[in-house]
Amino acid sequence: MADELGAPGLGELGLGGLDLGELVAGRRVLGVFAHPDDETFFAGATFAACVAAGRDVRLATLTAGEAGAIGVAPARRAVDRADLGALEAAAIAGLARYASACTALGVRRFGVVAPGRWRDVGDSGPGSLAAGDPAEIAVAVKDLLTEYRPDVLVTVDADGVTGHPDHIRAHEAVLAALDLLGSTGTPALALGGCVRADDVTTARERLAGLVPGGQIGTTRIVGTSERGLLRTAWSPDAGAAKLAALDAYAPGLGSAALPDLVPDEPPVGDGILLRTIAEVVGPPHEYFRPLRP
């Protein structure tokens, strides 16, 4: 891969005549998301491309991915029963997957913003990130930004892509943290990962051919219009790293053919729908909405 992200074939990301390669050259890139796997689904190829080009990349998650590791129902039961042993075991399992995914992306610096403070329980109920104090979460993100001082900040767009309340809370916390920082120490560019509505439609149609009449993902994944979005065009290696990172979260999620991923009985989960969207646009390609400036 070429040394500069803006080199031919590596960046088609335009913003007022600037490209992402120029903005991150020799600088720091930070990704802040609600759960482990968000960084991969929404910006994995971008982080892999930044690392390969020698940038300083750091990833942070606001939960340990408990529900992703053990399932929504067990995670919710553990929170409701205040079963700290089960929650800690789930957190360890979730962060092990996170570490494997970050390694696949080439990212060496990663972790939880406030370990154990907010949990991934698959909903917005008590104990979840979405139910947390917005001001407290914003301060935690602001402290991270103050410590790391990134030049480019990446999170998820306002719709959370999947509509997950934790994703939306993470987006809100990032914007609130930037407001707390004011004009001092704020990143030169903040981006929100998103998917296009047309690509969601195509992905649903592709999956419908494999599971006729079956439910495909949740109705909350609708995508956004292409107007104002920034599109990446990284190298095939960056796309391959994203797919390898998806495999860290579920065997074959990134590498298996779609017919092998689709369950025998519906519904088809959001993860498979997001993987199909990545296949539709091409793994090296990702979309972002400029959040700041």
Q: Give residue limits of the domains in the chain.
A: 14-197+228-264+283-292
The per-residue pLDDT for 25 is: 56
**What's the CATH number for 14-197+228-264+283-292?**
3.40.50.10320
Cβ neighbours for 79, distance < 8 A, ≥ 6 positions apart: 87, 119, 121, 125, 126, 127, 128
The partner residues of 128 in beta bridges, in order of sequence, read: 119
The per-residue pLDDT for 277 is: 97
The per-residue pLDDT for 14 is: 43
Closest CA to 30 of 202, 178, 130, 184: 178
Question: Would you say the C-alpha torsion 203, 207, 213, 214 has a positive or negative sign?
Answer: negative
Spatial distance between the Cα atoms of 245 and 82, rounded to a whole number of angstroms? 31
Copy the structure tokens of residue 46: 């971008």
Closest CA to 50 of 34, 32, 27: 27
Spatial distance between the Cα atoms of 120 and 268, rounded to a whole number of angstroms? 21
pLDDT, tens only, 206-232: 999 998 888 888 888 999 998 889 999
The per-residue pLDDT for 52 is: 92
The per-residue pLDDT for 226 is: 87
Asked if the peptide bond before residue 259 counts as cis, ω within 30 degrees of 0, the response is no
- In the chain, which residues have pLDDT < 50? 1-18
Residue that is written with structure tokens 């990032």 in the block: 174
257: DSSP letter: -
pTM of the entire structure? Answer: 0.92
The per-residue pLDDT for 8 is: 27
Rounded alpha-carbon distances, angstroms, from residue 8 to 44, 128, 216 = 20, 43, 37
The per-residue pLDDT for 97 is: 97
Q: What's at 203, amino acid-wise?
A: A
